[in-house]
Amino acid sequence: MAEKIKRRKAQEEPEVESKINRVKPGTNVLFSAIFAILALTCIVPAVFIVVISFSSMESINEIGYSFLPKSWSLDAYAYLWNNRIMIGRAFLVSIVVTVGGVLLGLFLTASMGYALSRSNFKLKGIYSIIVFIPMVFGGGLVSTYNVYTSVLNIKDTIWVLILPLTVSSFNVIICRTFFKTTIPQSILESAEIDGASQLRTYFTIVLPISKPLLATIGILLSFSFWNDWFQSLMYISDPKMYSLQAVLMNVEKNIEFLAQNADTMGASIAAYATNMPKEPMRMAMAVLIVAPIACVYPFFQQYFVSGLTIGSVKE
């Protein structure tokens, strides 16, 4: 009799669980509508920017911004193409800084997070405090500038575009939590029994099973490096070493300057400033900035989502 009751309970538990997890059709439609609206709020502005970048200045002056301009034009992209040497050089600088910064940042961030996650690391308490302090207090712009220019002496070098953004306390905390809650302790103990050193365990066991974490930190670092313009304007004197963001920002400033002072300049410059596709050019620059990251992100999306959620719930 007791065995029959147990069997009946075992059969009823999955049914009860399925009923609890089941979503009603009306709720499912509501959630689908909400997610569709959220998706449109992300997609529509991006499409709108692309459309404006291909709109003519005459259409914008006549009807303003519109998904269906009266006339199309490639003048904005033609202007950028005429400056292809300057923009191409800045594009190359941004690629070098992003790739190098992401690789260096992944190594330093993951290594620090792994060290802080080890229970037998005696200095993990003091180092955890040191890592946490920058999340609350900043060193200040003056002291930071003196460190990079006087102490490290990396002003006007490629390193000044990489090192300031390489390590983030937030990323280190993510790595520490991931290693502490996700990497099975039994695997590390087995490697230690087999005679593997800490470095060999880290590179041959820990990192290969931490792909979601590495992808998450990598995409966050790539956003930081690719979108950065402040380091170039602060620490770089030669415009030839500017990143893409800094160059495009200077181009936009020049456009605004010509538009505001067209009356005080010569006739040829005034005519050039008047006919310049100012608004489409701004949107074309936004497309040029966003397009590379938008093309790369889908390849890391599945790892990015799993890397943010894994380790957040401990069984």
155-206 per-position pLDDT tens digit: 989 999 999 999 988 899 988 988 888 888 788 888 888 888 888 888 888 8
Any residues with CB less than 8 A from the CB of 107 and at least 6 apart, and which?
none
- With pLDDT > 90 as the criterion, what percentage of the chain qualifies? 12
Give me the domain span that covers residue 255: 75-309
Look at residue 266 in the predicted model and tell me its pLDDT. Answer: 56
What pLDDT score was predicted for residue 301?
64
Residue 244's alpha-carbon distances to 88, 189, 229, 275, in angstroms, are 8, 47, 8, 25
Spatial separation of the C-alpha atoms in residues 197 and 205, rounded to whole Å: 11
Task: Report the pLDDT value the prediction gives residue 315, as an integer from 0 to 100.
Answer: 42
Q: Are residues 175 and 40 in the same domain?
A: no
Has residue 65 been placed in a domain?
Answer: no
Is it the case that residue 302 has pLDDT exceeding 60?
A: yes
pLDDT given for residue 264 in this prediction:
62
Q: What is the three-class DSSP state of 219?
A: helix
CB–CB of 204/253 below 8 Å? no
Q: Is 68 contained in some domain?
A: no
At 74, phi and psi to the nearest 5? -110, 20
Distances (CA, A) of 94 to 46, 90, 161, 224, 302: 22, 6, 9, 11, 25
Q: How far apart, in whole angstroms, are the C-alpha atoms of residue 55 and residue 64? A: 10
Closest CA to 290 of 104, 105, 42, 103: 42
- What is the dihedral sign for C-alpha 202, 204, 207, 209? negative
Averaged confidence pLDDT in the chain = 80
- Domain contains 58: no
**Res. 17: pLDDT tops 50:** no
Strands (E), the chain: none
* Residue 277 reports pLDDT greater than 70: yes
| Inter-axis angle of helices 278-309 and 244-260, nearest 10 | 150
131 and 243 both lie in a single domain: yes
Residue 3's pLDDT band (cuts 50, 70, 90): low
Residues 12 and 157 both lie in one domain: no
- The residue ranking higher by pLDDT, 11 or 109, is 109
Rounded CA separation 21/196 (Å)? 45
Q: Are residues 39 and 163 in the same domain?
A: no
Q: Which residues of 162-192 are buried (b: 16+ CB within 10 A; e: fewer)?
A: bbbbbbbbebbbbbbbbbbebbeeeebeebe
How high is the pLDDT of residue 110?
92
Same domain, 30 and 130: no
Residues 87-140 have pLDDT tens digits of 889 989 999 999 999 999 999 999 999 988 888 888 888 888 888 888 887 777
Residue 139: closest CA among 10, 130, 180, 203: 130
124 versus 13: the higher-pLDDT residue is 124
Residues 302 and 217 in one domain: yes
Contacts of 210 (CB under 8 A, 6+ apart): 110, 178, 179, 182, 183
Do the Cβ atoms of 110 and 207 come closer than 8 Å?
A: yes
Task: Note whether residue 275 is domain-resident.
Answer: yes
pLDDT score of 275: 63
Per-residue pLDDT at 273: 58
* Contact (CB, 8 A) for 218 and 106: yes
Do 48 and 88 sit in the same domain of this protein? no
For residues 167 and 297, membership in a common domain is answered with yes
Q: Tell me the one-letter amino acid at 40.
A: L
Q: Specify burial of residue 50 (Cβ count, 10 A radius: 0-12, 13-18, 19+).
A: middle
158 and 305 share one domain? yes
pLDDT score of 311 more than 60: no
Q: Are residues 28 and 159 in the same domain?
A: no
Is residue 69 assigned to a domain?
Answer: no
Q: Are residues 164 and 15 in the same domain?
A: no
Q: Is 172 within a domain?
A: yes
Instruction: State the average pLDDT over residues 211-240.
Output: 88
Mean pLDDT, range 259-264, rounded to an integer: 63
SS3 (DSSP) at 161? helix
Residues 43 and 93 in one domain: no
* Residue 241 reports pLDDT greater than 60: yes
Q: Give the integer Cα–Cα distance in Å for 105 and 166.
A: 5
Query: Which pLDDT value is given to residue 92?
Result: 92
The domain tally of the chain equals: 2
Residue 294 included in any domain = yes
Are the CB atoms for 83 and 242 separated by under 8 Å? no
Q: Give the CATH number of the domain where residue 272 resides.
A: 1.10.3720.10
Cβ atoms of 94 and 226 within 8 Å: the answer is yes
Is 23 a domain residue?
yes
- DSSP assigned state of 195: T
